[in-house]
Structure 1
Amino acid sequence: MNEELLDRLAIRDLVENWALWRDAGDWERFATVWHDDGVMMATWFQGPATEFIRVTKEGWAKGVSILHFLGGTTIDLAGQRAIVQTKMTISQRADVDGVPCDVVCTGRFYDFIEKRGGRWGVVLRQPIYEKDRIDPLRPGTRLELDAARLAEFPAGYRHLAYIQTRIGYDVKRDMPQLTGPEVEALYRRGQAWLRGDAI
């Protein structure tokens, strides 16, 4: 196999390991998908990967349930750097006013990845939130959401933000969505990354 194909396979492996190891609580291996300066951006957390791992573990201990499912991946490769987009869903379970619910948000992981010392690692993971929904777990259960509160959040992750704020998280309100200035700025950053610019 040629080197580019091997790199593409290694990058795909990295993306898949992120979801599997994080959702399984395999924290030691999960830490290996990041470079030391890796940064995670999410609705409820923005900061260093090491801190993301710590607060995720704390959330687990409190019963926070957030899982990921991956779809197709596309890789834009430029030497030792790559921009990787992966279709995904984020699924979170929590009570909303005493009603157990699942929120499912569909979007993409948009990853800034670099090969350093022969190893590919995540430098920045920025999800793109495209659409979401909330469903009670018990069929026929009536769920009454605060319409005014729901409308405060961006359309692409409105229900996810609603449930996360109800359980105490401070949600970032300007994350990239399917369209809009935030996602256009992210695409420009990705192109600059591939040209060799700093994030």
Structure 2
Amino acid sequence: MPTIETDHFEIRQLVENWVLWRDAGDWERFATVWHPVDGWMTATWFQGPATDFIAVSREGFDNGVSILHFLGGHTADVLGDRAIAQTKMTINQRAMVDGVEVDVVCTGRFYDFCARHEGAWKIVRRQPIYEKDRLDVVDPSASLDLDPQLLRRFPVGYRHLGYLQTKAGFTVKAGLPGLTGDVVQRLYGEGAKWLAGAGTPGDPH
């Protein structure tokens, strides 16, 4: 019989496995962290089933797209065979912007809807919360002028990440949750309903 301590340990391990296996390109093991039927991923540049996310992440990895993740503090609310996990994280992306190599670091949280499936915890839905970000040129002697109109298209939580990804050819979704505001409050509400037994993990679309 699983204990609450075991559940917390396994959920934390699940979140850590997501980052280690994705960033290392270990795609077979990366697929195991997701619920095999209902897994769904939302990111600035992708929204869709986990199987599709794995495929496009692998394609990007093979083509040299550099997106890395680091984890911090973690907490999980567990109720029976469901959980909501929140984990502090950074998204680190390196790319060329107008001929200048830059790093963007975005700080936020992974907000994960989890479920026990065949005795093991899986991620049903992952929704990052974007709290703040910054852009730095890799070469300190280089200079870069940003387009203020393009920069203002994105919320403050992922303004520079959205800028870089747009310049890199991605289609970036607007209106994703930040530290405060109606969007993140709606996400918290969806999490509470998930723990209470809702049929679906909110509306990831």
Range of TM-score over shorter length: over 0.9
Question: Are 2:31 and 1:10 equivalent residues in the alignment?
Answer: no
- Partners in 2 of 1:168 and 1:116 — Cα distance? 37
TM-score by length of 1: 0.98
Deviations 1:109-151 (A, max 9, x none): 0000000211100000000000000000001321110011111
Deviations 1:1-36 (A, max 9, x none): 961111111111101000000000000000000011
1:107-126 aligned at under 5 Å gives the runs: 107-126=108-127
Structure 1 counterpart of 2:49, which letter?
P
Deviations 1:43-91 (A, max 9, x none): 0000000100000011112211000000010011111100000000000
TM-score by length of 2: 0.95
Structure 2 counterpart of 1:143, which letter?
L
Q: Which residue of 2 aligns with 1:146?
A: 147
SS at match of 1:85: strand
Shift of 1:153: 1.0
- Partners in 2 of 1:35 and 1:152 — Cα distance? 33
Structure 2 counterpart of 1:53, which letter?
I
- Partners in 2 of 1:4 and 1:101 — Cα distance? 43
Q: Which residue of 1 aligns with 2:166?
A: 165
- Partners in 1 of 2:62 and 2:195 — Cα distance? 38
- Partners in 1 of 2:69 and 2:2 — Cα distance? 31
SS at match of 1:131: strand
Give aligned pairs, total: 199
- Partners in 1 of 2:27 and 2:59 — Cα distance? 12
SS at match of 2:140: coil
- Partners in 2 of 1:75 and 1:175 — Cα distance? 22
Q: Which residue of 2 aligns with 1:103?
A: 104
Query: After the TM superposition, which segments of 4 or more aligned residues of structure 1 sit over 3 Å from their partners?
Result: none
- Partners in 1 of 2:121 and 2:62 — Cα distance? 30
- Partners in 1 of 2:76 and 2:112 — Cα distance? 10
Q: Which residue of 1 aligns with 2:28?
A: 28
- Partners in 2 of 1:139 and 1:154 — Cα distance? 27
Structure 2 counterpart of 1:74, which letter?
T
Q: Which residue of 2 aligns with 1:155?
A: 156
Q: Which residue of 2 aligns with 1:196?
A: 197
Identical-pair percentage: 62
Q: Which residue of 2 aligns with 1:182?
A: 183
Structure 1 counterpart of 2:8, which letter?
R
Change in Cα spacing, 1:138 to 1:119, as seen in structure 2 (3 Å) is same
RMSD (Å) for aligned C-alpha atoms: 1.1
1:42-61 aligned at under 5 Å gives the runs: 42-61=43-62
SS at match of 1:35: coil
- Partners in 2 of 1:49 and 1:157 — Cα distance? 22
